[in-house]
Amino acid sequence: MTAAKARSLLLEHLTPRYDEGEAKAIARIVLEDAFSGDDDEQFYKILERLVAGEPVQYVLGQADFFGLKFRVNPNVLIPRQETEELVAWILEHLKDSDLEHPALLDIGLGSGCIGVTLKKKLPRLQLFGLEKSKATLEVAIGNARLILGENADFSFTEGDILNYHSWANFPLFDVVASNPPYIPLVEQSIMPEHVTAHEPSLALFVDNEDPLLFYRVIADLALQKLRPGGALFFECNEFNASQVANLLREKGFVKTELRKDLAGAERMLRAMRPMD
List all residues 6 or more positions away from 77 whose beta carbon is below 8 Å from its beta carbon: 110, 111, 199, 200, 203, 204
Does a structural domain hold residue 21? yes
Same domain, 49 and 85: no
Same domain for 239 and 198, yes or no, is: yes
Domain count, the chain: 2
**Closest residue by Cα to residue 223 from 273, 276, 167:** 273
Range of the domain at 181: 81-272
User: Distance between CA 139 and CA 73 in Å, rounded?
Assistant: 8
**Position 70 in a domain:** no
Residues 127 and 27 in one domain: no
Give how far Cα 196 sits from Cα of 77, 228, 260, Å: 11, 40, 25
Residue 146 sits in the same domain as residue 185 = yes
CATH code (residue 162): 3.40.50.150
Could you list the pLDDT tens digit for every one of the 276 residues in the chain? Answer: 899 999 999 999 999 888 899 999 999 999 999 988 888 999 999 999 999 999 999 999 999 999 999 999 999 999 999 999 999 999 999 998 888 899 999 999 999 999 999 999 999 999 999 999 999 999 999 999 999 999 999 999 999 999 999 999 999 999 999 998 766 555 665 557 666 666 666 665 566 567 899 999 999 999 999 999 999 999 998 888 999 999 999 999 999 999 999 999 999 999 999 987
Length of the chain: 276
Same domain? For 107 and 227 the reply is yes
- 74 bridge partner residues: none
Q: How far apart are the first and last CA of the chain?
A: 66
Question: What is this structure's pTM?
Answer: 0.92
**Does residue 11 sit in the same domain as residue 139?**
no
Q: Does residue 171 lie in a domain region?
A: yes
Asked whether residue 205 is domain-assigned, the answer is: yes
